[in-house]
């Protein structure tokens, strides 16, 4: 046996940014100030004569919004759910495509609202992803509605014979 003693103690470090009273901890405030100063030192000062771009103009260069993987995941999740209720995926229990036009319309409307409310605040890749997905989903939705209408018309004709 070795005479090496094992240390069974452990240390807990509180990394919460707020105190029990709900105020920012002093070390958190100091770190934020250090980060802000470091960031200001890195960024070159902008020339005062530079004209501001119009609000609806896309941002370029350093002003361009950065891609957020969480935003892209949100858009993809909503898109997959819409595709699922448009019949792109089979129900694992029945093996039949799941078709729910009302749910599809609601999900497409959510993506439309997301696009409208984030206009001018998206990275070019995010905007392209959202527009491409919306276009495909809307086209699929129209095609599905036409197919359902044609099937209903065929069934109605068959009943009258």
Q: For a pLDDT cut of 70, what percent of the chain falls above it?
A: 78
- The reported pLDDT for the residue numbered 42 is 74
**Does residue 12 belong to any structural domain of this protein?**
no
Domain range for residue 93? Answer: 66-156
Residue 100 domain-assigned? Answer: yes
Residue 37 placed within a domain: no
Residue 21 domain-assigned?
A: no
- Please list, in sequence order, all residues whose beta carbon lies within 8 angstroms of the beta carbon of residue 83, skipping any fewer than 6 positions away: 89, 137, 140
Evaluate whether residue 38 is within a structural domain.
no
Three-state DSSP class for residue 89: strand
Q: Is residue 2 part of a domain?
A: no
Residue 32 pLDDT greater than 80, yes or no: no
What total of structural domains would you count in the chain?
Answer: 1
Query: Which pTM does this prediction carry?
Result: 0.58
Per-residue pLDDT tens digits for 42-79: 766 555 544 444 555 555 556 778 999 999 999 999 99
Q: Tens digit of pLDDT for each residue in 78-121?
A: 999 999 999 888 888 898 888 899 999 999 999 999 999 999 99
Burial 61-79 (b: 16+ CB within 10 A, else e): eeeebeeeeebeeebeebb
- Distances from the Cα of 127 to the Cα of 64, 75, 82, angstroms: 12, 10, 18
User: Is there a domain that residue 19 lies in?
Assistant: no
Q: Which residues pair with 97 in a beta bridge?
A: 90
* 78, part of any domain: yes
């Amino acid at each position: 046996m070795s005479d090496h003693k094992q240390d069974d103690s452990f240390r807990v470090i509180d990394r919460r940014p707020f105190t029990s009273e709900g105020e920012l901890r002093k070390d958190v405030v100091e770190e934020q100030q250090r980060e802000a100063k470091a960031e200001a030192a890195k960024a070159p000062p902008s020339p005062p004569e530079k004209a501001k771009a119009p609000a609806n103009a896309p941002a370029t260069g350093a002003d361009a919004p950065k891609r957020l993987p969480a935003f892209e995941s949100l858009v993809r999740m909503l898109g997959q759910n819409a595709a699922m209720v448009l019949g792109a995926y089979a129900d694992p229990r029945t093996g039949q495509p799941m078709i729910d036009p009302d749910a599809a319309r609601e999900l497409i409307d959510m993506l439309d609202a997301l696009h409208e409310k984030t206009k001018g605040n998206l990275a070019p890749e995010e905007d392209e992803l959202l527009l491409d997905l919306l276009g495909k989903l809307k086209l699929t939705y129209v095609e599905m509605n036409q197919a359902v209408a044609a099937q209903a018309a065929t069934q109605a004709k068959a009943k009258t014979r």
